[in-house]
Structure 1
Amino acid sequence: MTRLAAHHFGVTVSDLDRAVEFYGDTLGLGDPERFSVSGEAFADAVDVDGATGRFAHFDAGGARIELVEYDPEGPDASGGTVNRPGAKHLGLSVEDLDAFYAGLDPAVTTLSEPRTTESGTRILFVRDPEGNLVEVLEA
């Protein structure tokens, strides 16, 4: 069997420009590579008639984060809590979680202040502008 390797972690958004601003500026991932994809092969592959996608790829230190805005847009699947089956979140690490938290814009929604789990990992969950969960951790 062919061995698989991680290529990217994707998040579907309704407003790519707003999401790029959050991930690039607020989370500090910088400027992404941007591109668009359309055509019959793409629409067939994602099983959405006439689909087009606008993409932004961020290099997150060895992991690629892909934001994609689809046309047509499907029903909203963001939000919720992490314990729901099918829930998703991105995990990003920082060296100093407290400094990251102190520097967050007050408008950014967090689930709590930074906490230390019994495994010794310090974690903080924030919501992006679409309501998607992003875990920021200090291992």
Structure 2
Amino acid sequence: MADCSAHHVGITVSDLEETLAFYRDVLDLPVADRFSVGGEAFADAVGVADASADFVHLEADGIRLELVEYDPEAGGSPAAGLNQSGASHVGLSVDDLETFSEALPDDVPTISEPRTTESGTTIMFLRDPEGNLVEVIET
């Protein structure tokens, strides 16, 4: 079997520009690449007839975060809670979670203020404009 290594973590979104603005401007992740893909080979590979997509890759300290907007777009589904099977989230770290939390724009939905868990880890969860969960952890 071939050795695998991490390449990216992807999130499919319905509004690439709005979601990009959140990750780039609010969470300060730099854009590494931006491109579009279409054609028969792509549509076959993703299993979506006549698919094309716009992609943005952001750098998150060694992890590439891929935002992708498809055409055609599938019907939406509600964002899963963390305790639901299949739930996913993006995990990011900051040096000072309290300062980070205080600097968030008022319109960013948060699950809670920063909390220190019984393991000693200080965390908070928020949602991006598409409702995807983002965990921010103090390191």
TM-score by length of 1: 0.96
> For each residue in 1:56-83, what CA deviation from the matched residue of structure 2 results, as whole angstroms up to 9, or x when unmatched?
0001110000000000011223523100
**Residues 9 and 78 of structure 1, relative CA distance in 2, 3 Å threshold:** farther
Q: Name stretches of at least 5 consecutive residues in structure 1 with no aligned partner.
A: none
CA distance in 2, matches of 1:115, 1:87: 21
Query: Over aligned residues, Cα RMSD in angstroms?
Result: 1.0
Asked whether the 8 Å contact 1:78–1:130 carries over to 2, the reply is no
Tell me whether 1:6 sits opposite 2:6 in the alignment.
Answer: yes
Structure 2 unaligned segments of length 5 or more: list them: none
Instruction: Give every structure 1 segment of 4 or more consecutive aligned residues whose post-TM-superposition deviation is greater than 3 Å.
Output: none
Q: Distance in 2 between matches of 1:14 and 1:118?
A: 37
Secondary structure (helix, strand or coil) at the match of 1:24 reads: helix
| TM-score, with structure 2 as normaliser | 0.96
What residue is the counterpart of 2:122 in the other structure? Answer: 122
Structure 1 equivalent of residue 48 of structure 2: 48
Q: How many residues align?
A: 139
SS of equivalent residue, structure 2 residue 31? coil
Q: Deviations over 1:9-46 (max 9, x none)?
A: 00000000001100000111133421000011110111
- The letter of the residue matching 2:75 is P
- The match for 2:76 is 76
CA contact (8 A) 1:78 1:132 kept: no
For 1:1-139, list aligned pairs within 5 A. 1-139=1-139
Question: Which amino acid in the other structure matches residue 51 of structure 2?
Answer: A
Distance 1:60 1:26 in 2: 13
